């Protein structure tokens, strides 16, 4: 069985210092493919560097909504313009992660930057990796407004919220829903994934975040203060998410693994 971690931040602390050993260990554990999304200009460039130094490691470029707050529109336009030069590189397979985040504030600015990046993707025919925190309606409105048919099979709702409207839109347009370590402990997501067509499911660890169970509880018991409590997630833990999906959907492991791999490759136009 081969696995694909479709969302893993090897380009940010604390993983950026140890990405080589993390990738080697992942590949030993059959996590053959990884996509590293960008969250700002600097880590997008670093993501390309990492992707270029290993087989089957790919990256996406973009501004995460939490990373734009301290920048002006002009600064972002200049940086996006620089990133354009990298969009045709072999290992750059998407624009992301981009989107809307309720906690980040300044919604009009977030929307403006999101739309700018969708238009960039359209111009270069790139898939989208979408971040959404509690702003599903605004997000869907923008996606419908900016829709282009090539986006069919080329968008993932990263760490999807268990939202019916998103699921309906994804079914109609053939878009992917990403499931992470929180699937191992969130009952609402465990119910939600049962409604998602198998063709639209992809897995992601979102490392260093979202440590899956049982590691999450184990670490909680090992550590006392909050700071120590941050134990980075790693792509090799994808297998814990996979086992949970097997359990919830009650499917044959080999068949499910093959399906999830095919979905991930199709999402990023890799085969
Ligand atoms: Zn992310």
What DSSP letter does each residue of the chain carry, written as one string?
--EEES-B-TTSTTTGGGHHHHHHHHHHTTEEEEEE--SSHHHHHHHHHHHHTSTTEEEEE---GGGSTTS-HHHHHHHHHHHHTTTTSTTEEEEEEEEEEGGG--HHHHHHHHHHHHHHHHHHT--EEEEEES-HHHHHHHHHHT--GGGTT-EEETT----HHHHHHHHHHT-EEEE-GGGGT-HHHHHHGGGS-GGGEEE---BTS-PPTTHHHHHHHH--STTTT-----GGGHHHHHHHHHHHHT--HHHHHHHHHHHHHHHTT--
pLDDT(225) > 70: no
Q: Is residue 143 over pLDDT 60? A: yes
The CATH architecture annotation of domain 3-267 reads Alpha-Beta Barrel (3.20)
Task: State pLDDT tens for residues 176-213.
Answer: 999 999 999 999 999 999 999 999 999 999 999 999 99
pTM of the model: 0.95
Q: How far is the CA of 6 from the centre of ligand 1 (A)?
A: 10
Cα(172) to centroid of ligand 1, in Å? 25
pLDDT of res. 220:
78
Predicted pLDDT of residue 229:
57
- Output the CA 17–ligand 1 centroid distance in Å: 18
Condensed to tens digits (0 to 9), the pLDDT of residues 100-110 reads 999 998 999 99
Q: Ligand 1 centroid to 257 CA: how many Å?
A: 22
The domain segmentation of the chain, as residue ranges, is: 3-267
Distance (Å) from CA 7 to ligand 1 centroid: 6
């Amino acid at each position: 069985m081969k696995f694909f971690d479709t969302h893993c931040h090897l380009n940010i602390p604390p993983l950026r210092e140890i990405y080589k050993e993390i990738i080697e260990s992942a590949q030993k554990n059959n996590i053959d493919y990884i996509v590293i999304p960008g969250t700002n200009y600097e880590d997008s460039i670093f993501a390309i560097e990492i992707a270029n130094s290993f087989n089957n490691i790919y990256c996406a470029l973009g501004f995460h909504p939490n990373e734009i707050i301290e920048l002006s529109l002009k600064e972002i336009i200049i940086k996006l313009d620089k990133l354009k030069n990298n969009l045709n590189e072999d290992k750059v397979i998407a624009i992301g992660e981009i989107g809307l985040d309720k906690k980040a504030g300044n919604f009009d600015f977030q929307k403006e930057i999101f739309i700018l990046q969708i238009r960039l993707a359209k111009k270069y025919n790139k898939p989208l990796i979408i971040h959404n925190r509690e702003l599903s309606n605004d997000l869907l409105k923008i996606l419908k407004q900016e829709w282009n048919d090539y986006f069919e099979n080329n968008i993932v709702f990263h760490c999807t919220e268990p939202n019916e409207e998103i699921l309906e839109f994804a079914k109609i347009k053939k878009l992917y829903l990403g499931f992470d370590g929180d699937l191992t402990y969130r009952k609402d997501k465990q119910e939600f994934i049962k409604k998602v067509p198998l063709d639209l499911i992809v897995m992601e660890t979102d490392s260093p975040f979202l440590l899956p169970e049982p590691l999450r509880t184990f670490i909680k018991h090992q550590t006392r203060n909050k700071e120590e409590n941050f134990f980075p997630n790693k792509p090799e833990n994808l297998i814990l998410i996979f086992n949970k999906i097997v359990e919830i959907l009650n499917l044959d492991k080999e068949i499910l693994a093959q399906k999830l791999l095919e979905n991930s490759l199709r999402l990023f136009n890799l085969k």
